[in-house]
Amino acid sequence: MSTNTGAPADSGKNGMPTLTVTACKATMPPPATSTFSFKAPFPVASPGAMLKPRRVSLALPSSPRLVPDSAWNFRDDTGIDAHRTGHSNPGQGYESDTDVLLPEKRGKMRRIASDGDDFTLGSTMGASGSAESAAGPSSEKKQRKKWTTEETQMLVDGCNKHGVGNWKTILSDKSLKFDSRSPVDLKDRFRTYFPDAYRLHYPNAKTHLSSKIRRSTLPDGKPLFERPAPRSDDRSLRRRTKP
DNA sequence: GTAGGGCTATAC
DNA sequence: GTATAGCCCTAC
């Protein structure tokens, strides 16, 4: 699987270690250049010192999703395959258009892709839909676009330069080239590709944290990224509650 | 604008 | 059939 050859190595200036991690993918062959260089952007006394929950988990105390810490080491069990055990048909989407469940039934409304489907993504499409809004008013689903090694490296560089979580800033950095990515795309990529780092920076996250993919910590567990200083208007401590 | 959970296409 | 990655949606 993925290996983390993070080389603590020559701690650079400011005591910030220059790290190297091998970015092998579990399901796809490693690109030609599979080594990313990481550099912790901010000095930190201890890995956990700056950790501060930015959001409160959706999981209610009584929620079956709430799993013990030990479960973090397992695959996304906390994200339970609702779509596999629920109403949807794995790999086939919903059985039919009529299988679209109401929000009160499914928890929240989702757009269903179907032939001739007419819906638009609505105003909330801004986040990830903006990048390819050229699709038109009744925007079709954004085509899946795999992240290249180069893009990933840009993301890493951006995180090191601007701090994890400053996706918009990273995206705006002229020196970083992304292929029509949105801030959300950056966040999602970071979340899926560097689950360990994501978990370190966002302890509340319970999804997209495969236990098999670890590209973001050193063998000794030290993080490759540093969380930027929390914003003063940190809303992370609050979290929506499920109906 | 960002975090976080969910859905689903795709690879294996 | 399952795991992963990418996209979607919504709360804040």
The string of pLDDT tens digits covering residues A19-32 is 344 433 333 333 33
A26 touches strand C (CB under 7 A): yes
Which one, of A186, A65, A87, lies nearest residue A130 by Cα? Answer: A186
For residue A163, pLDDT beyond 70 = yes
Q: What is the spatial distance between Cα A47 and Cα A225, in angstroms, rounded to a whole number?
A: 10
pLDDT at A186: 92
pLDDT at A194: 84
- Kindly report, residue by residue over A167-183, the tens digit of the pLDDT: 999 999 889 888 889 99
CB within 7 A of strand B (chain A, 84-113): 86, 88, 91-94, 106-108, 110, 112-113
**Burial category of A159 from C-beta neighbours within 10 Å (exposed 0-12, middle 13-18, buried 19 and up):** buried
pLDDT at A208: 65
Which one, of A28, A63, A103, A109, lies nearest residue A206 by Cα? Answer: A63
Average pLDDT over residues A72-83: 32
Average pLDDT over residues A80-84: 33
Helical residues (DSSP H) of A117-239, grouped into ranges: 126-129, 149-162, 167-172, 183-193, 195-201
A142 touches strand B (CB under 7 A): no
CB within 7 A of strand C (chain A, 187-206): 188-189, 192-193
Closest alpha carbon to C1' of C5, residue = A192
Least confident of A76-85, A100-109, A167-176, A203-212: A76-85
Contact A13, A41 (CB under 8 A): no
Q: What is the percentage of chain A residues whose pLDDT exceeds 90?
A: 5
| Chain B bases closer than 7 A to any CB of the protein | 1-12
For residue A224, pLDDT beyond 50 = yes
How far is residue A78 CA from its own chain's centroid? 15
Range among A15-24, A115-124, A140-149 rated most confident:
A140-149
Residues 6+ apart with CB under 8 A from A94: A87, A88, A100, A112
A235 touches strand B (CB under 7 A): yes
pLDDT at A167: 92
Average pLDDT over residues A78-100: 34
Mean residue pLDDT of chain A comes to 52
Closest alpha carbon to C1' of B2, residue = A165
For residue A155, pLDDT beyond 60 = yes
Protein CA at A146 to nucleotide C1' at C6, angstroms: 7
Q: What is the spatial distance between Cα A235 and Cα A55, in angstroms, rounded to a whole number?
A: 7
For residue A222, pLDDT beyond 60 = no
CB within 7 A of strand B (chain A, 163-182): 164-169
Average pLDDT over residues A201-212: 66
Q: What is the spatial distance between Cα A24 and Cα A2, in angstroms, rounded to a whole number?
A: 5
Average pLDDT over residues A76-85: 33
| Chain C bases closer than 7 A to any CB of the protein | 1-12
Largest CA distance in chain A: 60
For residue A59, pLDDT beyond 50 = no
A184 touches strand B (CB under 7 A): yes
